[in-house]
Structure 1
Amino acid sequence: MVRRRRLTGTTIGTVAASLLVSTGAAAGAVGAARAAGAGEDRQRAGGAVAVGAYVDYGKAGPRRIAELSRWLGHTYLPGDSRAGIEGRVDFLADWARWRQARDDRMFVLNVPVLERNEARVPDFQVRELLRAGARGQYDEHFRALAGRLVELGVPDTVLVLGWEMNGTTYTHRSGPDPAAWKAYWRRIVTAMRSVDGQSFRFDFAPNRGKDAVPWTACYPGDDVVDVIGMDSYDQAPGRTFEEQAEAPWGLRAQVAFAGEHGKQISCPEWGLFRNGDNSEYMRGMLDWIEEHRPLYQTITDYCPHGVWQCDDNPESSSVFRTRLFNQTGPPVPPVPTTRPSRPRRLYLQLRPRPR
């Protein structure tokens, strides 16, 4: 879903952070029944899905967790340079301290896997970069990141590598050479698992739908993937939520593929978009989450996607807060901080999506 991004250039000094709501509230609204084989994470949370809202950037994230979250934190490393990919950013220590404060917390980290990740690098260069990665040329970056996470005391981080790899937005896209991309993923996981003390889980998270290439063509193998994620916004392919679920390479395909491969699912990014304030979509997505019990889910909460900080979607906001918080009155938003700016790249459509 090539639409808006936030992770390069000078702005990345303050990187995106996802803050998550109380699992107690989520359990009351989403349901507490445990799926068979759901695993330790859901047992710790009483069966609740970890519920998130992308609300702020950088070091402010862990401070605002006290307002919105008890269990899950989710942020992104910058992809403009090697330092970002290796986790040499100050805010990572802040998130590590937040995670360490409670045993029942989960930390999710999106990791770009190539430098200049939003620089519109042409396909022929992407192809060469992917092939270099597949040969092991960048293994050192990921051993460094793994070592930093272990050193910071977050060896159990859930790592979303090269998200939306089936699309066209990022340098870490797979389309120019899917075979090299899969081999590169395998090198990354092998390098990170080689670091003593790690217990990482790796989340494979494409865009919903075919996009540039079918995401099944990018899948690197069961031995190097722990979670099958999917970024899904209210936009094509599919006009209604039902169409989005049933379309080829859609949400139902994600659930079926994960089941066939013995993996949990996740919803790393979702929210409103092309169809405006769409309460039926909101109900559909929350029903889907309740039925299929992802490991975690994170709603993008700035405009136009959001329902908590964004004032543009009152009907969807009412559905969200009623379902997740049993709250029928006006929401009590967190103390305002600098809202993410909307640079042009956040909404860049590099090519028409197939319909």
Structure 2
Amino acid sequence: MSRRGRRLAGAGTSTVAALLLATGCALATPPRGASGPHGPRTEVAVGAYLHYGSPGVERMQKLSRWLGGAELRAGHTYLPGDTWANIEGAPDSLHSWARWRKAGADRLFVLNVPMLEHNEADVPDDQVAELLRSGAEGEYDHHFQRLAERLVDLGVPDTVIVLGWEMNGFNYTHRCRPDPESWQEYWRRIVSAMRSVEGQRFRFDFAPNRGGDAIAWTSCYPGDDVVDIIGMDSYDQPPGHSFADQVTQPYGLQQQVDFAKAHGKRISYPEWGLFRNGDNPDYMRRMLAWIARHKPLYHSITDYCPHGVWQCSENPRSARVFRDSLSTGKKRRPAHRHLP
């Protein structure tokens, strides 16, 4: 998503429906020992990005009620990329997320982790390239080891790490284009540093923007041994004026699925939602059907304006599709609810 949008958030077919009712509220690849009434869970974990900090945890239960009691098993948040201290896991909100994760054996905690500080500071390409080279040489390994130690100490050693998300774009300091080879080596060093911590069971999610953007995301891929999941952030916006375009465009949804299959990886959608095409129920139906068909490990809708369906009153038709598809049917509430 846009950097401005995430910063503001911190301050905030019957067949398709049947498929989603069956798959929408459980975990795809559970932590060791997690199981359902008939054995290990094999379904999709549903989540939503609801707030940058602890309010995101609090709103999970409210969103669940809006969905008629459907349990959300994917909890999703971000570490700020302003300082190394925050990238090391300083935010107090991690305690709240750790408590949420440990309250259910089959829950999935998803954490976006920046690769560099000053991540939204419009750092020019030449400086980014220099920073990436320093990272590739190991200068920042200790920051990520500290993060791994903190997560293990908090009791969430199985966190899904969405590392350096949207690396194929133009904006984040952790972008790939200024030096793809150094970026790849830097990713490898981060994963090695985090995996060196005793007790960890992290999974690393490589999640570019949909489409070509600043560089083909395949040019940034660091290798099968250091990637566990092939994710994609995909909003209803160009390139891809229709959902069919979003599927078939170069480096689009179909290429993600094909790439993941070729590399033996699960897929995910850490960020998805409405955007420049406004309240678009057809997009919502088709994206939910795509998810039901391809069964990602998890998906997390971005739920604040203009992307959202619950906290944003601007998208009532899409909200109705989302809610009708995922609701357990236990309760009926208005199609949208705006939270301050």
Q: TM-score, normalised by structure 2?
A: 0.88
Shift of 1:64: 2.7
Shift of 1:43: 5.8
Report the equivalent of 2:282: 280
Report the equivalent of 1:141: 143
Specify the SS of the correspondent of 2:301: strand
Letter paired with 2:108: M
Q: In the alignment, is the contact (CA less than 8 A) between 1:321 and 1:331 conserved in 2?
A: no
Q: Report the Cα distance in structure 2 between the residues aligned to 1:260 and 1:304, rounded to whole angstroms.
A: 35
- In percent, how many aligned pairs have the same letter? 61
Q: Given the superposition, is the C-alpha separation of residues 51 and 187 from structure 1 closer, same or farther in structure 2, using an over 3 Å criterion?
A: same
Q: After the TM superposition, which residues 44-55 of structure 1 pair with which residues of structure 2 at under 5 Å, given as runs? A: 44=36, 46-55=41-50
Shift of 1:283: 0.8
Q: What is the CA deviation profile of residues 126-154 of structure 1, one whole-angstrom value per residue up to 9, with x for unaligned ones?
A: 00000000000000000000000000100
Report the equivalent of 1:235: 237
Shift of 1:101: 1.4
Q: In the alignment, is the contact (CA less than 8 A) between 1:76 and 1:109 conserved in 2?
A: yes
Report the equivalent of 1:61: 56
Shift of 1:31: 4.8
Q: Given the superposition, is the C-alpha separation of residues 335 and 302 from structure 1 closer, same or farther in structure 2, using an over 3 Å criterion?
A: closer
Q: In the alignment, is the contact (CA less than 8 A) between 1:167 and 1:213 conserved in 2?
A: yes
Letter paired with 1:137: E
Q: What is the CA deviation profile of residues 28-64 of structure 1, one whole-angstrom value per residue up to 9, with x for unaligned ones?
A: 6515379xxx644696584431112222231222233
Q: Do structure 1's residue 310 and structure 2's residue 308 form an aligned pair?
A: no
Q: Do structure 1's residue 178 and structure 2's residue 180 form an aligned pair?
A: yes
Q: What is the CA deviation profile of residues 226-285 of structure 1, one whole-angstrom value per residue up to 9, with x for unaligned ones?
A: 000000000111110011011110000000000000000000001111111111111110
Report the equivalent of 1:293: 295
Bigger Cα displacement from structure 2, 127-136 vs 61-70: 61-70
Bigger Cα displacement from structure 2, 95-104 vs 127-136: 95-104
Report the equivalent of 1:30: 20
Report the equivalent of 1:124: 126
Report the equivalent of 2:67: none
Q: Given the superposition, is the C-alpha separation of residues 313 and 251 from structure 1 closer, same or farther in structure 2, using an over 3 Å criterion?
A: same
Q: What is the CA deviation profile of residues 180-213 of structure 1, one whole-angstrom value per residue up to 9, with x for unaligned ones?
A: 0000000000000000000000000000000000
Letter paired with 2:61: A
Q: In the alignment, is the contact (CA less than 8 A) between 1:30 and 1:48 conserved in 2?
A: no
Shift of 1:98: 1.2
Report the equivalent of 2:6: 6
Specify the SS of the correspondent of 1:298: strand
Q: In the alignment, is the contact (CA less than 8 A) between 1:28 and 1:324 conserved in 2?
A: no
Shift of 1:331: 3.2
Q: After the TM superposition, which residues 302-341 of structure 1 pair with which residues of structure 2 at under 5 Å, given as runs? A: 302-325=304-327, 330-331=333-334, 336=339, 338=340
Specify the SS of the correspondent of 1:206: coil
Q: In the alignment, is the contact (CA less than 8 A) between 1:15 and 1:76 conserved in 2?
A: no
Letter paired with 1:272: L
- For structure 1, which runs of at least 5 residues remain unmatched after alignment? 17-25, 339-355
Q: In the alignment, is the contact (CA less than 8 A) between 2:316 and 2:335 conserved in 1?
A: no
Question: What is the root-mean-square deviation of aligned Cα atoms in Å?
Answer: 2.5
Q: Report the Cα distance in structure 1 between the residues aligned to 2:81 and 2:304, rounded to whole angstroms.
A: 21
Q: Report the Cα distance in structure 2 between the residues aligned to 1:333 and 1:232, rounded to whole angstroms.
A: 22
Q: Given the superposition, is the C-alpha separation of residues 268 and 102 from structure 1 closer, same or farther in structure 2, using an over 3 Å criterion?
A: same
Q: Report the Cα distance in structure 1 between the residues aligned to 2:21 and 2:73, rounded to whole angstroms.
A: 16
Q: Report the Cα distance in structure 1 between the residues aligned to 2:84 and 2:46, rounded to whole angstroms.
A: 31
Q: Report the Cα distance in structure 2 between the residues aligned to 1:88 and 1:33, rounded to whole angstroms.
A: 35
Q: In the alignment, is the contact (CA less than 8 A) between 1:31 and 1:48 conserved in 2?
A: no
- For structure 2, which runs of at least 5 residues remain unmatched after alignment? 65-70
Q: Given the superposition, is the C-alpha separation of residues 310 and 29 from structure 1 closer, same or farther in structure 2, using an over 3 Å criterion?
A: farther
Q: In the alignment, is the contact (CA less than 8 A) between 1:228 and 1:266 conserved in 2?
A: yes
Q: In the alignment, is the contact (CA less than 8 A) between 1:15 and 1:78 conserved in 2?
A: no
Specify the SS of the correspondent of 1:97: helix
Shift of 1:318: 1.2
Q: Do structure 1's residue 263 and structure 2's residue 258 form an aligned pair?
A: no
Report the equivalent of 1:341: none
Q: TM-score, normalised by structure 1?
A: 0.84
